[in-house]
């Protein structure tokens, strides 16, 4: 009888343990903005007093004025990889490569604002 009771207790514990293992919270994927700031900030060290603020500002203000998704993603990639606004032509479709120059004109003012006064 004692053996059956112990066996039942062990089976109950195993069942509860496997049920708890299955009820895990899904792993949180990184927020795209936070991931951008994490990649961008090391490039800003030594150049700016608050690199995270500069990177966050570039994400929220400079890149936000670019409506075209391909150009915006290329711009964010350039900033996160180099620390300066840049777009490589092979990062955007051929049909949109002519829009790279006007995109930089569009982001000039918010970029300068971010670089020299990111708190505003």
Q: Average pLDDT of 48-53?
A: 91
Phi, psi for 5 (deg, rounded to 5) = -65, -45
How do residues 57-110 score in pLDDT, each as one tens digit? 999 999 999 999 999 999 999 999 999 999 999 999 999 999 999 999 999 999
| pLDDT-derived band at 9, boundaries 50, 70, 90 | very low
d(CA 71, CA 87): 8
What's the chain's average pLDDT? 83
Contacts of 75 (CB under 8 A, 6+ apart): 62, 63, 66, 85, 86, 87, 103, 107
Provide the residue ranges of all domains of the chain, joining segments of one domain with +.
Answer: 32-114
pLDDT at position 13 is 44
């Amino acid at each position: 009888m004692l053996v059956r009771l112990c066996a039942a207790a062990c089976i109950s514990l195993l069942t509860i343990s496997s049920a708890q293992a299955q009820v895990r919270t899904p792993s949180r994927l990184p927020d795209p903005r936070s991931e951008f700031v994490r990649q961008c900030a090391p490039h800003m060290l030594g150049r700016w007093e608050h690199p995270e603020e500069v990177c966050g500002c570039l994400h929220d203000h400079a890149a936000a004025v670019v409506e075209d998704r391909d150009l915006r993603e290329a711009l964010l990639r350039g900033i996160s990889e180099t620390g300066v606004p840049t777009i490589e032509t092979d990062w955007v479709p051929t049909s949109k490569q002519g829009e790279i120059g006007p995109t930089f004109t569009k982001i000039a003012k918010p970029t300068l604002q971010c670089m020299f006064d990111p708190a505003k």
